[in-house]
């Protein structure tokens, strides 16, 4: 039975926020870059991105709330006024969706908070950010990761030179800024004014080390505008912010469930994957589950904090030893650098700032790693210790879709869908998970193909983010997930009965759910669902494969009736033919390289070639909507040869609806209709037929 899992402290932990409740059920189990503070004039050029997607992802940006930044700024400069955003005003409505503020909050422009306000001071760094009074360490951790990625922050903060204060041209400042975020399949341009909430002339939310640096406070304000208000950022998922900054795909990893602390082989494999994501421009975060509300932000003896998001700011193999001996010995240690968004309180175990382990590393290596001895919230630890003390890692992968890249290129399909209610079961699209067998197949269905013998498939569904309002409060996510089924090679219409399950995601009340799976060649159907039936909402389905998957939604339940149906006939029966395998085929020195062809009324289904065996397992299915059920279905077996394929035998199937013998083991025969004779070998075939076209 399906089981929903709460987003809090699960695979995608909600941090700095209240606990969510899990939905019960029973059949699904839900389940190296160092610090860079170069002057910004050296960072101005957009570098060749490690991901082709990052180079082109801003080719089309949609104006949020239809606010055009350039037009609004021109208008303000023409009228010589500072911009005031009517969509996110300097009022309590932009601070809270419920309750009332404690101390008196005053909205101030940077020029009223300090002298010489700047967007950036001495460049940009993960050390710039400090979490404020709202519980959004998850967002600040994501910003810390973003700050270490030049090609990414220059996209989130577009035209940064044009947006920077120019002391020599004060009349060119209009109090308006804009930022880019990826939301629900598209990039949006969010415009804000520069009025920021303060108490006693101090920023109360995200702020920088430098009193006159405002990039992080302004990015936070734009993100709060997207969410509805600042309070909506209290408790959330780092995974969501990482995706919103990159357009990538977040993959959660439960370190405890995978037992990575004790399984060295699995841990080494995971480190290589984390290193690859980091080296290719991805963003990473880590956290420790807080089991109860009392555990939230509890500091452990090792210095780490529970229920708290840490940004991963570097991943590398560190060379141990000194001088040439270290070079030739080539002993390396898997290490990772993290940062606490509070800007203080660090890990105090092995390889912490003042630990004696650093004597094993040469001075030049330490300088290259940017090792500092100060309580700045950033620290190194071995990957083994990380797996032992942290419970979750979130990897945000930038999936390259550019053929010009030197890295692996993924084929991406994005499809928008919705769970909708309707009284007519044939039109209802909110059937709930597999626990609800009567309505499960009423959900949206999507078909895709794997065209390689074995291929890695990445699938992500994301529900549309809910915007908080004072009247409605913070929007809660639905518990969502999806199942993947292997179906007939020629299926064109919706599934109506269970097929072999190929993979299944967890069910969780998170904004998005991700699954990485490897599947053999064939055709598959994805069924995204809410955990409970009757729940409605929009979603985005993203499918990544090595070669084009032709992913599309299945809209029709059966073949449509057209004006030609009366002339050409309409199907009277549906039949599924499943060829499991064969035995005793004609022997050769190397075994047969055989394949199957299923033929029915001019339609054919081919299986892949099974090489070098006289007992192949085909496991191939075809579905046929038959206008002339009296005609038999033919199953042929062929031996693949270089010049001309060799016929090995065939069988004819009547496949009548009242045939109760579902599994047939039949002797192969030749194609002579006059004198049928048995050929070497048998074929195992499973048949299902029905007069109802929506039975399979």
Q: How far apart are CA 479 and CA 547, in angstroms?
A: 31
Other Cβ atoms within 10 Å of 98 Cβ, number? 13
**SS3 annotation, 124-191:** CCHHHEECCCCCCHHHHHHHHHHHCCHHHHHHHCCCHHHHCCCCCCHHHCCCEEEEEEEECCEEEEEE
Q: How far apart are CA 348 and CA 73, in angstroms?
A: 49
Q: What are phi and psi of 547, to 5 degrees?
A: -125, 160
Name the E strands within 351-400: 378-382, 392-397
Q: How far apart are CA 533 and CA 442, in angstroms?
A: 10
The three-class DSSP label of residue 302 is coil
How far is the CA of 205 from the CAs of 175, 221, 458, 604, in angstroms? 19, 9, 36, 64
Q: Single out the residue of 464, 372, 377 nearest to residue 140, CA to CA.
A: 377
**Which H or E run contains 241?**
helix 238-246
The three-class DSSP label of residue 360 is helix
Contact by Cβ (8 Å): 340, 313:
no
Q: How far apart are CA 559 and CA 696, in angstroms?
A: 13
Q: Which two tokens stand for residue 639?
A: 């031996």
Q: How far apart are CA 480 and CA 501, in angstroms?
A: 18
Q: Which of the following is catalytic: 16, 136, 340, 435? A: 340
Q: Single out the residue of 422, 426, 456, 428 nearest to residue 529, CA to CA.
A: 428
Q: Which of the following is catalytic: 308, 389, 436, 578? A: 308
What per-residue string of b and e applies to 312-338 under the rule 16 or more CB within 10 Å gives b?
bbbbbebbebeeeebeeeeeebbbbbb
- Report the relative pairing of strands 594-600 and 106-108 from DSSP bridges: unpaired
- According to DSSP, residue 421 is labeled -
What are the start-end ranges of the H helices in 565-616? 565-568
Q: How far apart are CA 309 and CA 283, in angstroms?
A: 13
Contact by Cβ (8 Å): 352, 381:
yes
Contact by Cβ (8 Å): 632, 653:
yes
Q: How far apart are CA 415 and CA 524, in angstroms?
A: 16
Contact by Cβ (8 Å): 304, 389:
yes
Q: Which two tokens stand for residue 30?
A: 């839900």
What per-residue string of b and e applies to 422-457 under the rule 16 or more CB within 10 Å gives b?
eeeeeebbbbbbbbbeebbbbbbbbbbbbeeeebeb
Q: What are phi and psi of 76, to 5 degrees?
A: -65, -40
Which residues lie across from 690 on neighbouring strands?
Answer: 574
> Taking the C-alpha atoms of 289, 293, 299 and 302 in order, what is their torsion angle to the nearest 10 degrees?
-30
Q: Which of the following is catalytic: 76, 137, 396, 551? A: 137
340 is known as an active-site residue:
yes
137 is known as an active-site residue:
yes
Enzyme catalytic residues: 137, 308, 340
């Amino acid at each position: 039975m399906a089981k929903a899992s709460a987003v809090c402290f699960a695979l995608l932990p909600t941090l700095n926020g209240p606990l969510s409740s899990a939905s019960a059920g029973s059949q699904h189990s839900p389940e190296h870059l160092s610090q860079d503070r170069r002057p910004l004039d050296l960072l101005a050029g957009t570098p060749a991105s490690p991901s082709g997607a990052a180079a082109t992802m801003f080719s089309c940006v949609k104006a949020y709330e239809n606010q055009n930044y350039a037009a609004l700024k021109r208008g303000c400069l023409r009228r010589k006024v500072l911009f005031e955003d009517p969509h996110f005003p300097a009022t309590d409505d932009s601070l809270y969706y419920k309750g009332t503020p404690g101390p008196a909050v005053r909205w101030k422009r940077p020029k009223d908070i300090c002298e010489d306000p700047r967007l950036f001071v001495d460049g940009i760094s993960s050390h710039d950010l400090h979490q404020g009074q709202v519980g959004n360490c998850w967002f600040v951790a994501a910003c810390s990761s973003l700050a270490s990625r030049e090609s990414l922050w220059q996209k989130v903060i577009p035209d940064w030179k044009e947006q920077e204060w120019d002391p020599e041209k004060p009349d060119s400042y209009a109090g308006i800024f804009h930022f880019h975020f990826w939301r629900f399949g598209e990039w949006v341009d969010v415009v804000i004014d520069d009025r920021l909430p303060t108490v006693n002339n101090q920023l109360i939310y995200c702020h920088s080390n430098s009193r006159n640096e405002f990039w992080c406070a302004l990015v936070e304000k734009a993100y709060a505008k997207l969410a509805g208000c600042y309070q909506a950022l209290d408790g959330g998922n780092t995974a969501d912010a990482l995706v919103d900054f990159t357009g990538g795909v977040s993959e959660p990893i439960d370190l405890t469930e995978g037992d990575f602390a004790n399984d060295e082989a699995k841990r080494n494999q995971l480190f290589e994957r984390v290193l690859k994501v980091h080296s290719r421009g991805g963003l990473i975060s880590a956290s420790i589950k807080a089991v109860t509300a009392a555990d939230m932000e509890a500091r452990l003896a090792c210095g780490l904090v529970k229920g708290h998001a840490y940004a991963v700011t570097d991943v590398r193999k560190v060379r141990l030893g000194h001088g040439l001996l270290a070079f030739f010995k080539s002993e390396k240690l898997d290490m990772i650098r993290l940062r606490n968004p509070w800007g203080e309180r660090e890990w105090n175990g092995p390889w912490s700032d003042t630990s004696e382990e650093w004597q094993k590393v040469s001075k030049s290596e330490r300088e290259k790693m940017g090792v500092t001895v100060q309580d700045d919230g950033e620290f190194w630890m071995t990957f083994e210790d990380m797996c032992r003390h942290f419970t979750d890692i979130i990897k945000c992968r930038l999936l390259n879709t550019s053929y010009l890249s030197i890295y692996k290129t993924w084929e991406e399909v994005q499809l928008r869908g919705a769970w909708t209610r309707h009284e007519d079961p044939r039109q209802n699209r909110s059937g709930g998970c597999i626990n609800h067998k009567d309505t499960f197949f009423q959900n949206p269905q999507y078909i895709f193909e794997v065209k390689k013998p074995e291929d890695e498939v990445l699938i992500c569904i994301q529900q549309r983010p809910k915007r908080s309002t004072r009247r409605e409060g913070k929007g809660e996510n639905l518990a969502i997930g999806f199942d993947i089924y292997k179906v007939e090679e020629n299926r064109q219409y919706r599934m109506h009965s269970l097929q072999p399950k190929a993979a299944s995601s967890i069910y969780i009340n998170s904004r998005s759910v991700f699954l990485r799976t490897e599947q053999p060649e064939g055709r598959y159907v994805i069924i995204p669902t809410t955990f409970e039936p009757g729940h409605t909402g929009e979603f985005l389905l993203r499918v990544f494969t090595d070669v084009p998957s032709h992913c599309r939604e299945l809209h029709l339940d059966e073949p449509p009736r057209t004006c030609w149906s009366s002339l050409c006939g309409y199907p009277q029966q549906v039949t599924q033919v499943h060829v499991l395998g064969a035995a005793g085929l004609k022997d050769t020195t190397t075994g047969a390289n055989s394949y199957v062809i299923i033929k029915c009324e001019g339609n054919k289904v081919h299986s892949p070639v099974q090489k070098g065996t006289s007992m192949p397992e085909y496991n191939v299915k075809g579905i046929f909507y038959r206008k002339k059920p009296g005609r038999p279905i033919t199953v042929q077996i062929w031996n693949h040869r270089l010049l001309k394929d060799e016929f090995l035998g065939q069988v004819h199937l009547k496949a009548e609806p009242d045939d109760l013998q579902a599994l047939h083991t039949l002797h192969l025969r030749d194609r002579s209709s006059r004198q049928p004779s048995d050929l070497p070998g048998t074929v195992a075939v499973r048949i299902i037929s029905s007069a109802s076209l929506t039975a399979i």
